[in-house]
Chains A and B, each alone.
Chain A
């Protein structure tokens, strides 16, 4: 029997730094906007569990977009992008997210992102504390070196499989096979963007000397990391959160670097706690 999901998808076109982007997003729920960024080289289906979470979508307007060049969001329509190597910068990434929130006229959104989405959440807290009600950096750290690798798009290897299996053990062995393989499947679809995303993740993002400038009273920061994350292990996140005045750290047991996608039932327990803390801090 056919069953429709309450989740709907739309496109919105806007300009960022001279780039015209037609951006695809999924949306469900009502209330406080909760804007969700997928991980590097992936797309918004990673948030499928949250988008259909009846309890959370009762109070939150969950919006999960595809960053330009990912999923159904094309590269810039007004540029010959194929003539340049793609390298995402912190400046452009921050500008994109703010422009997206402006395009949807979102008031006081909470921003949540995982991995390179978590790292940009820290950038937003630093640069745009008054545009966001709070940020939830998931699997993030002040600095995350080591993943800007040529092998992600080496012409002598199957890049789809290299990216998908290269991130396989970022997930916890306890996470269900079905969801780990879905995450693997999503990762086969974004290999051309993966390495360029990781330029931001491992190179351009470096807040080691800036954490104390993040004002978590203006923009609360609730960081969450899984115990099976080897890229930003729990101690890296804990150290980052402790460097932010007012920063909060939550450790997630038995889950990895893609918590919302690899094991949503476990992730939602921690997410609800993060949202409770934000409500407490922001009213």
Chain B
């Protein structure tokens, strides 16, 4: 899947998700998804995707980052992921996912970020 198409699909799916929408206010943070062959910085403001930066430059800022191999990201995107690929905690404890940066910001937004991450099961990944 082309990364532009993926970014549009991810944004639309996230913005329409009722569980995120139910507690969207203050879901504001900027994070990097590093999939190896593809990188994207997602900027969230009050529960909506404000910007998807699909070609991050070296100095582009974010609060926290999730980095893993393309193989791991493809496992995340299965409709029903295999054990240990079924979430960011599972994959960081048992697989090659690394969570870096200001993880307190991740924790401040954990409910909604977790829901958003699981949208990959619907929209896939661009790697």
Query: Interface residues, chain A, CB within 8 Å of chain B?
Result: 146, 151, 154, 156-158, 161-162, 164-166, 168-170, 172-174, 227-228, 230-231, 233
B70 within 8 A of A: no
Contact of A230 among B93, B104, B110 (CB under 8 A): B93
Q: What are 25 A-B residue pairs whose CB atoms fall within 8 Å in the complex? A: A151-B103, A151-B107, A154-B107, A156-B108, A157-B107, A157-B110, A158-B108, A158-B111, A161-B110, A162-B107, A162-B110, A165-B110, A165-B114, A168-B89, A169-B86, A169-B87, A169-B88, A169-B89, A170-B89, A172-B83, A228-B83, A228-B84, A230-B84, A230-B87, A230-B90
Digitize B33-76: 1 where CB-to-A-CB distance is under 8 Å, 0 elsewhere: 00000000000000000000000000000000000000000000
Contact of A157 among B80, B81, B90, B104 (CB under 8 A): B104
Query: Interface residues, chain B, CB within 8 Å of chain A?
Result: 80-81, 83-84, 86-90, 93-94, 103-104, 107-108, 110-111, 114, 121
Shortest beta-carbon distance from B17 to chain A in Å: 13
Residues of A within 8 A of B87 (CB): 168-169, 230
Query: CA separation between A157 and B104, bound complex, in Å?
Result: 7
Query: CA separation between A231 and B94, bound complex, in Å?
Result: 9
Shortest beta-carbon distance from A192 to chain B in Å: 16
Query: CA separation between A150 and B124, bound complex, in Å?
Result: 33
Residues of A within 8 A of B89 (CB): 166, 168-170, 230
Contact of B110 among A146, A156, A166 (CB under 8 A): A166
Assess the B86–A164 pair: CB atoms within 8 A.
no
Assess the A151–B83 pair: CB atoms within 8 A.
no
Contact of A169 among B90, B107, B111, B121 (CB under 8 A): B90
Query: CA separation between A158 and B113, bound complex, in Å?
Result: 14
Assess the A173–B81 pair: CB atoms within 8 A.
yes
Query: CA separation between A231 and B80, bound complex, in Å?
Result: 19
Query: CA separation between A171 and B103, bound complex, in Å?
Result: 22
Residues of B within 8 A of A227 (CB): 83
Residues of A within 8 A of B81 (CB): 173
Query: CA separation between A154 and B87, bound complex, in Å?
Result: 22
Shortest beta-carbon distance from A86 to chain B in Å: 20
Shortest beta-carbon distance from A276 to chain B in Å: 26
Query: CA separation between A169 and B121, bound complex, in Å?
Result: 14
Query: CA separation between A194 and B121, bound complex, in Å?
Result: 30
Residues of B within 8 A of A156 (CB): 104, 108
Assess the A173–B86 pair: CB atoms within 8 A.
yes
Shortest beta-carbon distance from B92 to chain A in Å: 9
Query: CA separation between A227 and B88, bound complex, in Å?
Result: 16
Assess the B104–A154 pair: CB atoms within 8 A.
yes
Query: CA separation between A32 and B76, bound complex, in Å?
Result: 44
Additional A-B contact list (19), CB under 8 Å, known A169-B86, A169-B87, A233-B83: A151-B103, A151-B104, A154-B104, A156-B104, A157-B110, A158-B111, A161-B110, A165-B110, A166-B89, A168-B114, A169-B89, A169-B90, A170-B89, A173-B80, A173-B121, A228-B83, A228-B86, A228-B90, A230-B84
| Pairs A-B, 6 closest by C-beta atoms | A169-B87, A230-B90, A165-B110, A157-B107, A161-B111, A165-B111
Query: CA separation between A222 and B76, bound complex, in Å?
Result: 33
Residues of B within 8 A of A230 (CB): 83-84, 87, 89-90, 93-94
Residues of B within 8 A of A154 (CB): 104, 107
With both beta carbons as reference points, the residue of chain A lying nearest to B108 in the complex is identified as A157
Residues of B within 8 A of A165 (CB): 110-111, 114
Assess the A174–B80 pair: CB atoms within 8 A.
yes
With both beta carbons as reference points, the residue of chain B lying nearest to A160 in the complex is identified as B111
